[in-house]
Amino acid sequence: MLMADHEMKTTAPDTGLRIKTEVKAPGNAAEDTGIEIVCQAVNLAYGDNHVLHDITMDMQKGRVTALIGPSGCGKSTLLRCLNRMNDLIDDVRVWGEIRVSGLDINAPTTDVIEVRRRVGMVFQKSNPFPKSIYENVIYGLRIAGISDRATLDAACERSLRGAALWDEVKDRLDASGLGLSGGQMQRLCIARAIAVEPEIILMDEPCSALDPIATLKIEELIYQLKEKYTIVIVTHNLQQAARVSDKTAFFWLGRLVEFGPTAQMFTAPKDKLTEDYITGRFG
Amino acid sequence: MTLAKNLARGEHLIWLTGSALGICLLMILGLLTVILANGLGIFWPSRIEELTLVDGSVVAGERVQRQAIPDPGHPDHLKKHRRQLKTGNRDIYGIDFRWVNESEIARSEEPKGLYLVERSEYGPLIGEPVKVSEGPQEVATGPAAAERLPDLVARAERDRAAIKAIEKDAIGSVNYTLERIRLERRKLDYRQRQDPRRDVSAARSALDRREEEQKARYADLEEKLRTAMESAARTSVTFRTVDGKEKELRALDLYRAYPANALSWPGRAAVYASRLWSFLTDQPREANTEGGIFPAIFGTVMMVFLMSLAVVPLGVLAALYLREYARQGVLVRAVRIAVNNLAGVPSIVFGVFGLGFFVYFVGGAIDRIFFPEALPTPTYGTGGILWASMTLALLTVPVVIVAAEEALAAVPRSMREASLAMGATKFQTILRVVLPAAAPGILTGLILAMARAAGEVAPLMLTGVVKLAPELPLDGFFPFFHLDRKFMHLGFHIYDVGFQSPNVEAAKPMVYTTTVFLLLIVVLMNVTAIMVRNHLREKYKTSAF
């Protein structure tokens, strides 16, 4: 896993604490890498409360897509549609089509377990299990029925390295996952998500409970992760969206207002609402 | 400062709450003090007073209490005193206790030669050893007889153990085998009635042969027992009471003998320890007023253990369904209220239900299916430790359900989501994340259930508790656990000894002591469960955020 370190040095942007909005040149973001997720006229309602209206957007493979918008605009709800976490709520109805690598995830024949294996998720509040670091990372493999020690050990190391946590915890894998710092716990959750080798990682405001340094580490990690995974991130932090994402979608009142390359969204938004939001006139 | 201002500041509330707590603590402490003082004091060997009365008669005994004599209207009202003496020697006097007015006492002494003797019948004996005989021959008299007492007591203990080994273990096993042969023969009869063409003569003659063998062994053992008894019974000790009556005791009947007035402090402590130990480890004697409470301790612990085995799975599964699977609505709310109300149903109602459902219905069905050859003698169709435990499990299951539901509800949603988002099924999530995190709370429920179950008496009286169970529900005979057996229980023992005993005055201290040990066992079991819970809590403590 020396390669990861090497890549970090060469491809990660110049780090250092950036507080101001800095729009990073998206580089090859324009290059077509293929579509991973297709949302076609997605609607969602909790009982009579219609929350998402006709969302249609595509998310590209190996890219970071940021969902931004004021609180209650439906961005987290959309994110949770992508691995069917909304199933847990009673009285929820989803219609329209969502395809993940061609699989219609809401089709009656689709196995929700399979969907969630392919689409990993990292939550706003880091939520490691009250188990050891090791058991946390390999949880997904254990429930998949893998019990071969060598496979589990290898997956644990690979995932922790992938989440840039290996060097900090390699000597205390048996310690409780709850003994880590906030940032470490969030990276542990990322390690847990990538241990099952998903295709997509959903991140629901992964840094909102973290301090700026821990946030920076997660952002660097996102930068590395997109080499292998398609990432969809919900964030309230516009600077963060600008720093980490290739494309940004702006939601307002359950509707997709504007969706485009991040650089363009932050420098020359097409919609008046988007402009007002990113310049801080409301939200 | 004005009163209104004081009221508004809530000073009075602090006093009120503080005194409420204080009153509760005082009552609990008072209860504990009464029980401990009365319960633990009885093993201490007290001194024996020998009183010569003005009419020339002599009484001796342990002083139990001294009280003022009420005589309303008379100038002496509450001025004179009387003493209650435990005189023992019930076989001679017909009573255990005697009141003596202090005005009638001419002389009071504490002679060193008086012994208190615990024996197998008629309560304690108080007197002086005068001679030891082997058969018709005297082997020691006077002080020499007293010197031989400790050896005789030790030998009596060995002899009793040897006799018990023959009676209980050897003859018991023969009886057990004979009973099995009898049942097998009945089984053959039963089969033959079902199917008259069946040939069972081979099986029958095999049984006959086995029976002959066992009967021969039995005769052999009986002979051995008789010799042992005879040799043990040859030795006897004669005691003389203070009023000059002589009583000859078989040495075999001696349990303990000590010179009550000549004992030093360490000697008294040794008697105390030995009495406490035999109380804990012995079988009861003399309608439970003497001897120990070991079978009751054993029965209580085993019953609580069986109950826990039944109540935890039942309660946790029910709580899991209510909390995790059932659609939260009117019906689930109604069920929840019903469960809570179940906890308030009087325990005797559960006892009646246990008798009707477990004993007669389930037990009766088991007997018809598995033990038809023994009928009409019931095997499981009568009260037993299994049915008592099941009844108590039913009684305490609401406590466990409520606690388990709360524990499940307290598992953070984020933890479930994390597991589900990893592709775990709901079942895997419950098994690997929710249940471990809820385990400490579930154990709290079990602790409450155990405390309640250990103290219940009423339902047990209908479902399998008896005042004296000759055999423990766990022993060396296959299948080792005899869940159909009746058992003894500390709570019922308290009731029985305290209120059903033929000799209530003599049994009173036993009530306190039994209570001490019931409390002690409940505390011990709870402390164990609390330690397990704290360990789990440490292991599964949830995130700080």
Concatenating the DSSP letter of every residue in B514-528 gives HHHHHHHHHHHHHHH
B interface with A, Cβ–Cβ below 8 Å = 327-328, 412, 414-425, 428, 432-433, 436-437, 539-545
Q: Are residues B381 and B466 in the same domain?
A: yes
Nearest to A74 by CA among A250, A221, A265: A250
- Backbone region of residue A103 per phi and psi (left: phi > 0; alpha: psi in -120 to 50; beta: other values): beta
Domains and CATH numbers, chain A: 33-129+198-278 (3.40.50.300)
Whether residues B306 and B250 share a domain: the answer is no
Given 3-state DSSP classes, what are the helix, strand and coil percentages for chain A, each rounded to the nearest 5? Answer: 40, 25, 35
Using the beta-carbon criterion (under 8 Å), do B421 and A120 form an inter-chain contact? yes
What percent of chain A is modeled with pLDDT above 70? 88
B327, B418, B436 ranked by CB distance to A123: nearest: B418
pLDDT for the residue numbered A283? 56
Q: What is the mean pLDDT of residues B221-231?
A: 85
Partner-chain contact A196 B422, CB within 8 Å:
yes
Cβ of A130 within 8 Å of Cβ of B422? The answer is no
Task: Report how many Cβ contacts below 8 Å link chain A to chain B.
Answer: 79
The answer to whether residue B96 is domain-embedded is no
Q: β-strands B97-101, B81-86: how paired?
A: antiparallel
B38, pLDDT greater than 80? yes
Residues B224 and B307 in one domain: no
- Please tell me whether residues B326 and B243 are part of one structural domain: no
Q: Are residues B364 and B500 in the same domain?
A: yes
Rounded to a whole number of angstroms, the distance from the CA of A211 to the nearest CA of chain B is 14
| Residue of A123, A143, A199 to mutate for B, most B C-beta atoms under 10 A | A143
Mean pLDDT of chain A: 83
Q: What's the gap in Å between the CA of B185 and the closest CA on chain A?
A: 53
Instruction: Provide mean pLDDT across the span A78-92.
Output: 86
Shortest CA gap B398–chain A (Å)? 28
Separation of alpha carbons B541 and B522, rounded Å: 27
- B491 within some domain: yes
Q: Is the previous residue joined to B150 through a cis bond, with omega within 30 degrees of 0?
A: no
Complex ipTM, two decimals? 0.81
The predicted pLDDT at position A31 comes to 59
Q: What is the mean pLDDT of residues B38-60?
A: 87
Q: Are residues B249 and B397 in the same domain?
A: no
Cβ distance A127 to B412 less than 8 Å, yes or no, reads: yes
Q: Are residues B315 and B402 in the same domain?
A: yes
Cα–Cα distance between B56 and B524 in angstroms, integer? 54
Of A88, A143, A185, the CB nearest to B422: A143
Instruction: Answer whether A118's CB lies under 8 Å from A100's CB.
Output: yes
Interface test with chain A among B426, B427, B537, B543, by most A beta carbons within 10 Å: B543
Residue where one domain finishes, among candidates B226, B254, B282 = B254
For position B401, which CATH number holds?
Answer: 1.10.3720.10
Q: What is residue B542's predicted lDDT score, i.e. its pLDDT?
A: 53
Q: Is residue B359 part of a domain?
A: yes
Which 8-state DSSP code applies to residue A176? B
- The verdict on B243 and B325 lying in the same domain is no
Decide if B50 is inside a domain: no
pLDDT tens profile A132-147: 899 899 998 888 888 8
The verdict on residue B259 lying in a domain is no
The answer to the question of residue B412 being in a domain is yes
Q: How many domains would you assign to chain B?
A: 2
Determine the distance in angstroms separating the CA of B417 from the nearest CA of chain A, rounded to an integer: 8
Q: Secondary structure of B476-508 in the HEC alphabet?
A: CCCCCECCCCCECCHHHHHHHHHHCCCCHHHHH
For residue A21, the model assigns a pLDDT of 44
Question: B458 lies in which domain range?
Answer: 301-539
Eight-class DSSP state of A147: -
Task: Average the pLDDT over B61-80 and give the result.
Answer: 84
| Domain assignment present for B405 | yes
Interface-testing mutation among A129, A131, A136, A205, with chain B (most B C-beta atoms within 10 A): A129
B235 shares its domain with B363:
no
Amino acid, res. B477: F
Separation CA A262–CA A244 (nearest Å): 9
Mean pLDDT, chain B, whole residue set: 86
Query: pLDDT band for position A8 (50/70/90)?
Result: very low
Residues A172, A173, A177, A182: what is their CA dihedral angle, to the nearest 10 degrees?
A: 60
Same domain, B468 and B337: yes
B417 shares a domain with B314: yes
* Chain B hits for A178, Cβ within 8 Å: 541-544
CB-CB under 8 Å, A90 with B327: yes
Whole-structure pTM value: 0.79
Q: Which residues of B touch A130 (CB under 8 A)?
A: 436-437, 539-543
Domain end, chosen from B254, B269, B291, is at: B254
Residue of B nearest to A193 (CA): B422
**Residue A235 phi, psi dihedral angles, 5° rounding:** -145, 150
pLDDT in tens, A179-224: 888 888 988 998 999 888 888 999 998 888 888 888 888 888 888 8
B308 and B384 belong to one structural domain: yes
